[in-house]
Amino acid sequence: MSDVNLKLVIATTRFYNILLSKIEKEIQEFDLNMSEFGVLEMLLHKGEQPVQKVAERILVTSGTISYVIDKLQKKGFVYRKNCEKDKRVFYVCLTETGEKYISDIFPKHKQFIDELFSGLDDDFKKDLTVKLFAMHDSLIQ
């Protein structure tokens, strides 16, 4: 590994860790953890989803997603329902309370993210996003 590649790994890792730490702290202010927020955000923007698809999207195991959904159910934010076509499949859906809650907090979260990146030029952010997705695609092949 050349020095520039090593420095890139170190810089990327440090940036990721700091960014994740700040986002986790902000989300905890909403009495949620990252997985719970991820589920609510996905359901807000994508509508009801099969449990397995939610697990894949927020990058947790099927066992973990069951625990997360159980916690959200206890808070009154989601419910499960059977798929009419395949009884082995369950959907997770927002309750009215859950939809109101995530609808209220998501704009605050978006503003927080906007503030985190406010010091960067939009063209730089767009270029970096394209490059990071290209790197992602090349690494998963």
Domain map (residue ranges) of the chain: 3-140
Tell me if 78 sits within 8 A of 44, measured CB to CB.
no
Split at pLDDT 50, 70, 90, the class of 2 is low
pLDDT value, residue 76: 97
Question: Please, what is the average pLDDT of the chain?
Answer: 92
C-alpha 38/C-alpha 105 separation (Å) is 12
In this predicted structure, what is the pLDDT of residue 97? 98
| Rounded distance between C-alpha atoms, residue 141 and residue 137, angstroms | 7
**pTM > 0.95:** no
Angle CA(31)–CA(91)–CA(94) in degrees, nearest 5? 40
- Rounded distance between C-alpha atoms, residue 3 and residue 31, angstroms: 42
Mean pLDDT of 92-105: 97
Please tell me the CATH code under which domain 3-140 is placed: 1.10.10.10
How much of the chain exceeds pLDDT 90, in percent?
A: 76
The contacts of residue 92 (CB under 8 Å, 6+ apart) are 39, 43, 48, 49, 50, 51, 54, 69, 78, 79, 80
Distance CA 127, CA 62 (A): 35
Residue 130 scores a pLDDT above 90? yes
Question: What are the pLDDT digits (tens) for 40-62?
Answer: 999 999 999 999 999 999 888 88
